[in-house]
Structure 1
Amino acid sequence: MSLVRSVLLRVPAAAAKPGPAIGQALGPLGVNMAEFVKQFNDATSSYKPNTPLPVKLSAFSDRTFSFVVQTPPTSELVKQAAGIKAGANRPGSEVVGYITPQAVYEIAKMKQRDETRSFYPLEGIAKSVVGTCNSMGVVVRDEVEEGEGEGEKGN
Structure 2
Amino acid sequence: MTAQMIFVNLPVKDLDATKAFWTKLGYSFNPEFTDENAACLVFSDTIFAMLLTEPFYRSFTDKEVADAATTTETMIALSAESRAKVDELVDTALAHGGTPGNATQEYGDWMYSRSFQDPDHHIWEIVWMDVEKMRAQAGPGAAQD
TM-score, structure 1 normalization: 0.29
Structure 1 or 2: larger helix share? Answer: 1
Max radius of gyration: which structure? 1
TM-score, structure 2 normalization: 0.30
Which structure would you say has the larger RCO, counting Cα contacts within 8 Å and 6 or more residues apart? 1
Structure 1 or 2: larger strand share? Answer: 2
